[in-house]
């Protein structure tokens, strides 16, 4: 089976990258992380990629005169590695409209809230401050707007009375690590696609939300 060459873009720890690497450890998984790009030198996720024998590249955004110049270099890099799909996994850099349009329907992001609620930074702080009782994660197609775009799958977790940001983040991560490999797998097999701005599903057995293990 020809696996779909996928780039994973990171800025930090790379635990979602690890979840994708682990999923691809199964020969039947349809996508193969073939390139990891970080805009931050020394990001911990780079070591995970190297450990797994995946090509890595650091593209420090400060080295580029403009957002458009950074995006153009990134696009060229993705093309040079024959990349077909892109996963943003803790990639904390806004991409401009041009590269987003070039990768429309082929670029995913994961965000640690139930979008469209709680976009941006300090998400778990926002959730706790708002006093909501559930949170979770969202995997969505990337559009030009930050943390927006058609939703593919969400994972849901309870917000517990004595949660702090760290505990809540850990619980949300546990569903992130299930949702992202599932969404990428569906996209790689064509069971999920973007059509006229909407997500279309075909033979996706359980695209319903996942509820976390309350133990986490």
Task: Show which residues are catalytic.
Answer: 111
CB of 2 to ligand GAR, least distance (A): 27
CB of 111 to ligand GAR, least distance (A): 5
Q: Minimal CB distance to ligand GAR: which residue?
A: 90
Q: Token pair of 134, please?
A: 């559930």
Q: Which is nearer to ligand GAR, 123 or 192 (CB)?
A: 123
Q: 116 preceded by cis ω (within 30°)?
A: yes
CB of 169 to ligand GAR, least distance (A): 7
Q: Which is nearer to ligand GAR, 76 or 99 (CB)?
A: 99
Q: What is the distance between the alpha carbons of residues 186 and 152, in angstroms, rounded to a whole number?
A: 9
Q: Which is nearer to ligand GAR, 44 or 72 (CB)?
A: 44
Could you list the residues that contact ligand GAR (CB under 6 A)? 10, 12-16, 45, 89-90, 110-112, 123, 137, 147, 173, 176
Q: What is the distance between the alpha carbons of residues 103 and 4, in angstroms, rounded to a whole number?
A: 15
* φ and ψ at residue 126, rounded to 5 degrees: -60, -45
Q: What does the DSSP assignment read for 81-116?
A: TT--EEEESS--SPPPHHHHHHTTTTEEEEESS-TT
Q: Token pair of 118, please?
A: 């709680």
CB of 112 to ligand GAR, least distance (A): 4
Q: What is the distance between the alpha carbons of residues 48 and 40, in angstroms, rounded to a whole number?
A: 14
Q: Which is nearer to ligand GAR, 24 or 82 (CB)?
A: 24
């Amino acid at each position: 089976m020809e696996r779909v060459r996928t780039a994973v873009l990171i800025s930090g720890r790379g635990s979602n990258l690890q979840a994708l690497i682990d999923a691809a450890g199964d020969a039947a998984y349809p996508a193969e992380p073939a390139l990891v790009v970080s805009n931050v030198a020394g990001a911990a996720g780079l070591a995970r990629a190297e450990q797994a024998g995946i090509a890595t590249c650091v593209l420090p955004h400060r080295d580029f005169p403009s957002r458009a110049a950074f995006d153009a270099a990134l696009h060229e890099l993705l093309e040079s590695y024959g990349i077909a799909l892109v996963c943003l996994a803790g990639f904390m850099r806004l991409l401009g409209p041009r590269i987003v349009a070039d990768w429309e329907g082929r670029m995913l992001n994961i965000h640690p809230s139930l979008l469209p609620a709680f976009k941006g930074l300090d998400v778990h702080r926002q959730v706790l401050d708002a006093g909501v009782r559930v949170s979770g994660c969202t995997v969505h197609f990337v559009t030009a707007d930050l943390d927006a775009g058609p939703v593919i799958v969400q994972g849901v977790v309870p917000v517990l009375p004595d949660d702090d940001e760290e505990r809540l983040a850990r619980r949300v991560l546990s569903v992130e690590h299930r949702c992202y490999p599932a969404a990428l797998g569906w996209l790689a097999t064509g069971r999920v696609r973007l059509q006229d701005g909407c997500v279309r599903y075909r033979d996706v057995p359980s695209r319903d939300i996942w509820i976390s293990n309350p133990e986490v």
